[in-house]
Chain A
Amino acid sequence: MGVNLRPLAMPREISLEDLGHKTIAIDAHNILHQFLSIIRQRDGTPLKDAQGRVTSHITGLLHRTANLVELGIKPVYVFDGTPHPLKMATLTSRREIKEKARDAWQQALAEGDLEEARKYAQQTSVLSPERVQEAQNLLTALGIPHVEAPGEGEAQASHMNRRGDVDCTGSQDFDCLLFGAPVLVRNIAVTGKRKMPGRQKWVQVSPERISLEEVLSSHGIRREQLVDMAILMGTDFNEGVKGIGPKTALKLVQEHDSVEEMVEAGVAPAMEHLDEIRRIFLEPRVTDDYELRWRPADEEAVLDFLSGEHQFSRDRVQGALEKFRKFAEGRGQKELFDF
């Protein structure tokens, strides 16, 4: 998903506490996908209710959001709208990968190889419209704002960050930097030990903060050049040039400024839809029509939905709701800069 800018990004490890009292626009599809892929049993089966309906996404959303608000972090979730036509190829190939993974999962299960089974199972996660709707309903009941993007969710989240309405953008996706997010925070969905896929190995995962300004100034490039680099490497909207990774791409933009000049110098092929893809990142489809208001949770609605409909343990839901209650009380406190 997205362009791998990690080698250039210079992330700084932070703790969730460092985000206390900050507002964060979270790329909702990105985080829900992570819940669906990670919150699974050992053999890869996602969490399900008594009717066999998957609940990994709403479990993750409830508890993770509770952890954030407990620290005074004010989240707003940003959902994808309609994808850009150029993204169709990526979406189709993702669908194919999922179908193949589903077969491989079943086969691994039949062979009794739980490691393999879990690995493939994680790749089968589908964020269906029903699941998105469930997540949105839950957020509404919890009193947490959510915004529907006209286009890409990460573009909208980055836009809200650029306007200064939120302090940072929460996503795993480095594309947020291309969309101009001033501060990208990664690894907010899961922290602590995370299992390496396919291996009996766990790594410590901590949230990390990436500053667009720092990335650009330390490499001496402009955001337009970062976008050109991404286009060379391949994005969700184009294939990219074989053999060009982050390091080569950086060197190319530092030496030749733009793709046009590279083509002229004969170091890169002409890129299809170049201007269109640039526009996707630099002038993204976004809206200013959103309201950031955190309200007290409708506790009855939350319990009805989670414990009534999906048989979540009432005690655990109550435990999470307690955190939302404290969050709502704390919010009565205004900040000096609100005036």
Chain B
Amino acid sequence: MFQVTIKTDYLRNIVDATSILVDEIKLHFTPDQVYARAVDPAHVGMVDFKLKSEAFEEYDVKEDVDLAVDLDKLKSMLKLPSTEEVISLIYEEEGQLVVHMGNLTRHMSLLDTADMADTKIPSLELSTEIVVKTAEVYKGVKASEAVSDHIALSANPEGFELTAQGDTDTVSLHISKDQLVSLKCKEQVRSLFSLDYFSDMVKSVKSESLKIYLGNDYPVKMLFELAGDHGEVAYLLAPRIESE
């Protein structure tokens, strides 16, 4: 049983960041943070976020509680023409979450957590770390969408590059080391990704910069902050392997 109040924008950020991969999510409320982890049905993309109690306006969680929510329901609430700055979530009765938004109250039935398996995180070894302005990556993604379904991310000690190869056209965005926030890269790495997933992930990044961990024909990990520095979202995305 608990009661929390959070800025509407923060809740929207979480719902946006997770609903690109799944329709339902199991949220773990603990006395000092909320976290959740989910993988899409095709096992291609994973989201893993945590939000510390400090990110909330009010946070009163005495013991661990797992809630499985239908993200569409939360989305429909967040779409309402409301200017309320905060939303309260109250869990008092098994199977039901009460959502208060100003003078609006919704009793939301929850899903059965027993039907939702916990998601394991694959252990990845990623040596290259790139910190880049989100706006730059966003530009590269938008340009790539016009020519291809795939995007290649590559890095070497001199810089970071996004390339998309279409049937007739190609797009590339090169960001040299001095234009990056930081770069740790010893050798050339390159992996190819589905642009469907990658662009959804990039578009849900709300922080000014984005940390990317890259390997060779290997999943990419992207980290960004949420709610100032009180929360963090990690995305994992499996690569496409060219011509086996």
Contacts and interface: CB of A to CB of B under 8 A. Distances in A.
A168 to B, nearest CB: 16
Given A21-B41, A21-B42, A21-B43, A336 B240 contact: no
Contacts of B231: none
Given A20-B41, A21-B41, A333-B44, A339 B238 contact: yes
A219 B41 CA distance: 32
Nearest to B125: A339
Interface residues of B, number: 22
A295 B39 CA distance: 26
Contacts of B243: 332
B91 to A, nearest CB: 31
A21 B241 CA distance: 17
Given A332-B240, A332-B241, A332-B242, A337 B41 contact: no
Residue from B45, B218, B240 with most neighbouring chain A CB atoms (10 Å): B240
Interface string B41-74: 1111110000000000000000000000000000
B146 interface: no
Contacts of B237: 336
A335 B119 CA distance: 14
Contact of B44 (A20, A295, A335): A335
Contact of A334 (B39, B46, B120, B239): B239
A48 B242 CA distance: 41
Chain B binding site: helix, strand, loop or mixed by DSSP? loop
B43 A335 contact: yes
Interface in A308-339: 331-339
Contacts of A339: 122, 124, 218-219, 238
Interface string A236-270: 00000000000000000000000000000000000
Interface in B145-200: 194
A249 B135 CA distance: 69
B244 A332 contact: yes
A234 to B, nearest CB: 38
B236 interface: yes
A72 B44 CA distance: 13
Contact of A333 (B46, B120, B124, B194): B194
A338 B238 contact: yes
Interface in B85-126: 120, 122, 124
Contacts of B124: 339
17 contacts: A20-B41, A20-B42, A21-B42, A332-B244, A333-B194, A333-B240, A334-B44, A334-B219, A334-B240, A334-B241, A335-B43, A335-B238, A336-B39, A336-B122, A337-B43, A337-B120, A338-B238
Given A336-B45, A336-B236, A339-B218, 4 more contacts: A72-B42, A332-B243, A333-B194, A337-B43
Interface of A: 20-21, 72, 295, 331-339
